């Protein structure tokens, strides 16, 4: 699922599957995403905004979500570095 998410950050199924948070939080996030559909925001983008703004409204899930975002960012960097190495070796 992590690879699916890395390939498409708008894949909400993969994103929710990768998160280790309670069901109530997922339902709240899905409701927020429905409310923000006019703006076209995904659950990933909503959480990213909350984490970037250091919004602690996620209570107990804040730490695990923040760690998840850090993990995803590290994976993105590794992928980009590998892509760059492939280009340079050609």
Q: Are 41 and 33 in contact (CB under 8 A)?
A: yes
Q: What is the pLDDT of residue 38?
A: 54
Give the Å distances, CA to CA, from 49 to 11, 65, 80, 84, 88. Answer: 17, 12, 23, 29, 35
Q: What is the pLDDT of residue 52?
A: 83
Q: What is the pLDDT of residue 37?
A: 60
Residue located via tokens 């997922």? 26
CA–chain centroid gap for 16, Å, is: 9
- Domain span including residue 37: 2-89
What's the domain count of the chain?
A: 1
Q: Are 46 and 36 in contact (CB under 8 A)?
A: yes
Residue located via tokens 């390939």? 7
8-64: pLDDT as tens digits: 877 888 888 887 777 787 788 778 777 766 577 777 888 888 888 887 776 777 888
């Amino acid at each position: 699922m992590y690879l699916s998410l890395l390939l498409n950050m708008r894949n909400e199924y993969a994103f929710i599957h990768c998160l280790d948070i309670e069901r109530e939080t997922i339902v709240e996030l899905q409701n927020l995403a429905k409310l923000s559909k006019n703006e076209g925001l995904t659950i990933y983008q909503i959480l990213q905004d909350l984490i970037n703004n250091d919004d602690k409204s996620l209570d107990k899930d804040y730490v695990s979500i923040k760690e998840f975002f850090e993990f995803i960012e590290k994976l993105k960097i590794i992928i980009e570095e590998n892509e760059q190495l492939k280009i340079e070796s050609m």
